[in-house]
Amino acid sequence: MFKPVIKWSGSKRSQSSILKEFLPDKINRYYEPFIGGGSMLYAINPTNAVCGDICVPLIDLWNEIKNNPYALSESYRLRWTKLQTEGYQAYYEIRDVFNKNRSPEDLLFLSRTCVNGLIRFNANGDFNNSLHHTRPGIAPDSLKKIILDWSKHIQGTEFIAADYTITTETAKEGDLIYLDPPYFHTKGRYYGTIDYDVFLTYLEHLNRKGIKYMLSFDGIRGEHNFTVELPKDLYKRHEFIPSGNSSFKKVMDKESIHVLESLYLNW
C-alpha cells in the first residue's frame, strides 16, 4: 500500500483499492472537494483533476508538494533536525509560529511529530495537538521519497482553497465527484463542518446536471449503526465498505472497533 504524504482525519487509504472498483468506466475530469490526505487522488491517479478543502494551510501544503517538493523536503529536514538537537521546546516554538502565519512547511512538520499523527485544530484554526515524545517523527530521507513520489502523481491536479460547492462549480456531465465530507455523527472531530440540508440540495443539483458522484458517509461502527437516511431519490446504490478498525477509537479509548462506511452512488 502507498504511504501517506499528509496524515489527515478520515483517511481513505485502507479503503481506496475497494472504492476504486466502483469507479465509472470513463471519467473526463475528477473532482475531490474534501481532499484531506488525498488517498483517493493517489489511488485513482487522474490526469486531470480539481481538488479542494476549506483549510487553507492544507491546500497550501498540497501546492508545495506539487510545485516545490525538494524545498519542502528540505524544510522538513531543518525542523526535524532542530527537534532532535534542541528537544521538545523546538516543537512548541514551531507550533507557535504556525499558529501565527499558517505556514504549510510548519504544518507538515507538526503533522509528522504530533501525538499519534492526529492533526487537530481549535475553533480559531490553531494547531493544538502535542508533541509525540516517544517517537522522533519520520526520518527526512524517508519523507523526501514520499513527497517526490506524490509530487509526480499530482502534477495534473489543481488545488483550490474553497468550499465544496465552489471547488466543483465547473463540473459537468462526464466528470466524477468523489465526496468525503465531515461525517454527520463526528462533529468537532474534523476541520470545519457542513450544513446537512445545504449538502442534500447540492446532491440534488448534481443529479439534475447529470454529474456522477460517489459519497462516503456514516455507516456502522461495531454494534452501533450511524447510517444516515439520505433521501432515496438522491442515489441509486448504497454499499457498505469495510474500513478496518476505528483508529480514532483505538487511540482515544484503547478500543478496536470494526467499521463499515457507507458509499452512495448516483448511477
Tell me the per-residue pLDDT of 53-63, one tens digit each, with 9 for 90 and over: 999 999 999 99
Mean pLDDT confidence for 162-184: 95
pTM higher than 0.85: yes
Q: Report which of residues 20 and 186 the model is more confident about.
A: 20
Nearest-angstrom CA–CA distance, 2 and 197 = 36
pLDDT tier for residue 255 given thresholds of 50, 70 and 90:
low
What percent of the chain shows pLDDT beyond 70?
92
| 248 C-beta neighbours (distance < 10 Å), count | 17
Question: Can you name the CATH fold of 16-21+28-54+162-265?
Answer: Rossmann fold (3.40.50)
**Which residue ranges does the chain devote to CATH 1.10.1020.10?**
67-151
The pLDDT, as a whole number, for residue 244 is 63
Q: Which of these ranges, 70-84, 130-144, 174-188, has the smallest mean pLDDT?
A: 174-188
- pLDDT tier, 184 (very low <50, low <70, confident <90, very high otherwise): confident
* Correct CATH for 67-151 of 1.10.287.3510, 1.10.3720.10, 1.10.1020.10, 3.60.15.10: 1.10.1020.10
pLDDT value at residue 189? 42
Q: Give dist(CA 4, CA 117) in Å, integer.
A: 11
Range(s) within the chain of domains with CATH label 3.40.50.150: 16-21+28-54+162-265
The average confidence (pLDDT) of the chain is: 91
Quickly state the pLDDT bin for 10 (edges 50, 70, 90): confident
